[in-house]
Structure 1
Amino acid sequence: MEAGTTNGEILNRLNTLLTRTRDGEWGYQEAAENVKDTELKSLFLTQSRQRGEFAAEIDREIRMLGGDPETTTSLAADLHRAWINIKTTFTGNDDKAVVEECKRGDGQALDDYQEILKNTYLMASTRELLLNQKERIESAHASMGRLAKVV
């Protein structure tokens, strides 16, 4: 953990996480729109709403720390963002491929959370918020892994 992390660096890292969380929200929404199975559609919409809630929580945290939250997603900016390849996955109309892409996106999100939690000095309340969100994403990631085997 970096002991000398400045408030500006913390805000930048939280804004990066906020942007990527919005990517997850968009990705799950896109997934819901592109699967045939109604149960998958419902699951993806639930995950999209959850990521939206996470984004709102991170947004509030950034404001509480005196920052200005980012208002965009990263889709146009970086090919390595969690959900950038999801559109190509949908062209085959394959529910299994969509589930696998959601799993991959959740894996990237977990990496993002791990990075900020490991390398940033955070207030206890911020750390607790991110740990709680990370735990819920781990659960979704595990669910996507199980689903990919049966879809």
Structure 2
Amino acid sequence: MAKAEERELNLDPITHEMGAHPVGTGLGATGGAMAGAAIGGVGGPVGAAVGLIAGAAIGGLGGKAVAEAVRPTVEHAYWRDRYAEEPYYQVGRRYDDYGPAYEYGWTSWGLYPGSFERVESDLGLHWDAWRGGSPLTWPEARPAARAAWERASLAYGPVGEPLARENINADDVVRVLNSLLETSRDGEMGFRDVAEHTVTPSLQSMFRARAQECAASAAELQQQVDRFGGSVAQGGTTLGALHRGWVAVRGSLGGLSDLAMLAECERGEEAALARYSHALQQALPQDVRVMVVRQWQGVQRHHDMVRRLREQERERNV
């Protein structure tokens, strides 16, 4: 069988049976290797080396159940399209520089339980062995690895939790979607408000672009509500309306500086992140979850951008 066909079928590298997922097999081998090295280490360097090889062979399929849903080709395609827009991107870098860091992130998510922060020091220690031809140091690779870890965590579910758990019913899916729809409308109207009240052209352009992104998210969510046979929520949230009203009144009177407007936008995006995080705790159908993760990442990316701009503006005003 051709190599390309083998990769497509995810054949077991040992038995050649179908279903051995490349990420699962890799992370299982890594975990087995680490355990084997620890056990073999009792016998000194040679024992550690033997344990490393044996552990990798025995553990080769140990991660299969954890990462069966992770598709490396899908993940690479996702990040290849977006890496240059990420806040940590360094001008002149290629995807090949960041690719190993992304792969390190989503693979490590399947290997280690808990949060990224909990195992970050361990990941840093092993980066040189993983990086291959990437010229990135760990401080440079860390944000990309974390982004891939977080995407895997949200898209495929917490480590150790069955990926095949029963999905919530259609009515509950509609409630989750409508909650996010209201949040997206809050963002659209809020960013249009601040775009009207700032006199800084670059901020106006950014706020208007974000308003359009929120509108696109709302349209996508509305299509999903229709698909699940629900009634589409009208308007935004009460909290969002109050928030926008405060911006409109103060901004129309010249009461908001760029710094204050950026702070308001940051608070708005933090509220949106909280709603998206809550939504992703639900057992959503996989295709809905993928959409929500994508939108969540857009909110996170813009939140981080606004925070950097706010910090820069604050430094200028000191």
TM-score if structure 2 supplies the norm length? Answer: 0.43
2:308 corresponds in structure 1 to 146
Measure, in 1, the Cα distance between the counterparts of 2:184 and 2:243. Answer: 9
Q: Secondary structure, in 3 states, of the residue corresponding to 1:67? A: coil
% identical equivalent positions: 24
CA 1:55/1:40 → structure 2, altered by over 3 Å: closer, same or farther? same
Residues 62 and 69, structure 1, Cα contact 8 Å, conserved in 2: yes
| Residues 53-72 of structure 1 mapped to structure 2, 5 A cutoff | 53-72=216-235
Q: Secondary structure, in 3 states, of the residue corresponding to 1:36? A: coil
Q: Secondary structure, in 3 states, of the residue corresponding to 2:280? A: helix
Q: Secondary structure, in 3 states, of the residue corresponding to 1:96? A: helix
| Residues 125-144 of structure 1 mapped to structure 2, 5 A cutoff | 125-144=287-306
What amino acid does structure 2 have at the position aligned with 1:95?
A: D
1:41 corresponds in structure 2 to 204
CA 1:82/1:4 → structure 2, altered by over 3 Å: closer, same or farther? farther
Using the TM superposition, give the Cα deviation of residue 81 of structure 1 relative to its aligned residue in structure 2, in angstroms: 7.2
2:271 corresponds in structure 1 to 108
1:15 corresponds in structure 2 to 178
Measure, in 1, the Cα distance between the counterparts of 2:192 and 2:240. Answer: 19
What amino acid does structure 2 have at the position aligned with 1:130?
A: V
* Structure 2 residue ranges without an equivalent (≥5): 1-156, 158-164, 314-318
Q: Which has the higher contact order (CA 8 A, sep 6+)?
A: 1
Deviates most, 50-59 or 63-72: 63-72
Residues 167 and 285, structure 2, Cα contact 8 Å, conserved in 1: no
Q: Secondary structure, in 3 states, of the residue corresponding to 1:99? A: helix
Residues 195 and 207, structure 2, Cα contact 8 Å, conserved in 1: yes
TM-score if structure 1 supplies the norm length? Answer: 0.88
Give the aligned CA root-mean-square deviation in angstroms.
2.2
Measure, in 1, the Cα distance between the counterparts of 2:262 and 2:239. Answer: 22
